[in-house]
Structure 1
Amino acid sequence: MIELEKKYYFTDCVIFTRTETFLNNQSDFAVANLGEQLQTDTYYDTAEGVLRTAKASLRIREKSGRYTLTVKSPPNKSGDGTQPLEREEAELELESSSLDEQIGFILKHLNFFDGKASFSPCLTIKNKRSTFLLKGINAVLEMVFDQVTYENPVKKTAREYQIEIELKSGGTGKEELLQFADSLERNVSGLIPTQDSKYQRGMQLVSL
């Protein structure tokens, strides 16, 4: 599956209020508030940081007692955050928060990794996420407001806020995503575009 999204970070939570006002005032998308949930992501890497260096990621997400393994390949192209982030993403439902017996799935979707090094937990992200579903003429977008706490293995923590907008309508609607993001950036000040994943952001903020 190809993931296509725009990402922003910021330090002033009032931007959430400004963005919700923008959502309520715009007319291109019908907006449904899907509510708020807590989720915990545990990211894994080798001791040498092979995945971080490649801008890939490997995580297990726990939400409402369910576990999902997600592998994200390196981006198809890099940039300064002004263009959407586009890359392959693969998910697998798990019965527990363990990577045991999943190495075949991981290697299949991280074809640059030779499997000679082992993975260990390197970052935990606790996230209070509010989700909005946006339906336009051709595009369906998922917009999330994330209140993020990063924690490394020695309990160093950092907090920040993020907004992500992801295309959910497959191959259609990319232009609508771009137009919506452009309008958002023009109407809501303080958003900082980024192509860094939460894993990359967190490791920058709480690195040993």
Structure 2
Amino acid sequence: METPTPIEVELKLALAPTGPEALAKHSHLASQPALQQLLTNTYFDTPQGDLAKARIALRLRQVDGQVLQTVKTAGQGGGGLSQRQEWEWQIAGPGLDLAALAELPPFQGELSGVLDALAPQLSTDFTRRSWQLKEGAQGQVSHIELVVDEGEIISGDYRTPIREAELELKGGDPEALWALALTLAEQVALRPSDSSKAARGNALSEQRWPLPQAHSPAEWLHRATLALDAYHDSQQASFLSDAQQALTTLADHPELDAAERGYAQALPSALDAHGQPNTAYGKAALALAHRLAHQTALR
């Protein structure tokens, strides 16, 4: 088993239907080479959903003739940005490497007894285009992997499209993620997303999309983001109403300063009738999420 990368820092963006091609043609990427791969992924859990309840994702990925086993813990953050533990290593396949799993911190304690009950529960198959980018000025250069995924999540009889971009910090300053995302949002219709592929697949399987209670501005933005994620996967109109209500509440929140209120007030009208963002939504949502994340970090 290879030495893991303990913390993954990533900014996830949901794309409008025109988003993937618009992003690939973005002037910031035009001169950068892209790698295209087909990724076939199977997620494992117990029949009772013990890993999902613990907010742990266990995946086997087939890519370029290799099989990779990955474990991810729940992400901490919001507004599209998450930080979480991740372990990934190559295995012989096709089954799980249970011995190595048993050595990982998430599978100590209560989950140590579920390994023999793990079985495939859902799959995600998608095409990935990726760019390796160096962002920032000399002396402060950050390495960011930008990927665009297009495909679908399959859980039993349920399916939902994958159409998203992920900006993962490979080295450097997390601020570079926000700067790059805002640059892309100038020309591409996108929005922050707070739902991983595994979480989306689990919700799809259960046909249940719970929304968290909200009090602070960051919590209302998170609730709106999750409601939009839920709407696009469930096609239940109530979630689009929930998102609009959360955005309206956010815009009137007394804890926002003048700049934050301006960003928040731009959001409700920047979604179309199908819950898709225009470029104004992406720019305002990212700017607001960035400010709120910075305030949270200072507390």
Would you call these one fold, judging by a TM-score over 0.5?
yes
- Whether contact under 8 Å (1:69, 1:92) holds in the other structure is yes
Whether 1:18 and 2:22 are equivalent positions in the alignment is yes
1:108 equivalent in structure 2: 104
| Separation in structure 2 between the aligned mates of residue 18 and residue 69 of structure 1, nearest angstrom | 32
Higher strand share: 1
CA contact (8 A) 2:24 2:30 kept: no
With over 3 angstroms needed to count, the CA separation of the structure-2 counterparts of 1:56 and 1:31, relative to structure 1, is farther
| Aligned-residue offset at 1:103 | 3.9
Relative to structure 1, the CA distance from residue 106 to residue 130 in structure 2 (aligned partners, 3 Å threshold; closer, same or farther) is farther
Matched, 1:9 2:18: no
SS at match of 1:184: helix
Higher RCO (CA 8 Å, separation ≥ 6 residues)? 1
Q: Secondary structure at the match of 2:71?
A: strand
- Listed as ranges, the gaps of 5+ residues in structure 1 are none
**Structure 2 alignment gaps of length 5 or more:** 208-299
Measured after TM superposition, the shift of residue 123 of structure 1 is: 0.6
Q: 1:202 to 1:167 in 2, by over 3 A?
A: same
2:167 counterpart residue number: 165
SS at match of 1:134: strand
Q: For 1:106 and 1:166, locate their aligned partners in 2 and report how far apart those are by CA, in whole Å.
A: 27
Cα deviations by residue, 1:134-192 (Å, 9 ceiling, x for unpaired):
1123111111110121112x3432223111110111xx221111211233334422x23
Tell me the percent identity: 27
Hey, what's the Cα distance between the residues in 2 that align with 1:203 and 1:11? Answer: 23
| Aligned residue-pair number | 195
* RMSD over equivalenced CA pairs, Å: 2.3
Whichever structure has more helix as a proportion of its residues is 2
Q: In terms of Rg, which structure is larger?
A: 2
Deviation of 1:16 (Å): 1.5
* Distance in 1 (alpha carbons) for counterparts of 2:30 and 2:105: 35
Once residues 37 and 142 of structure 1 are traced to their aligned partners in structure 2, the CA distance between those partners, rounded to angstroms, is 14
Q: Secondary structure of the equivalent of 2:94? A: coil
Give secondary structure in 2 for the equivalent of 1:33. Answer: coil
Instruction: Summarize the alignment of residues 56-135 of structure 1 with structure 2, pairs less than 5 Å apart.
Output: 56-75=56-75, 77-81=76-80, 84-99=81-96, 101-110=97-106, 111=108, 113-117=110-114, 118-135=117-134
Structure 1 CA distance for aligned equivalents of residues 131 and 32 of structure 2: 6
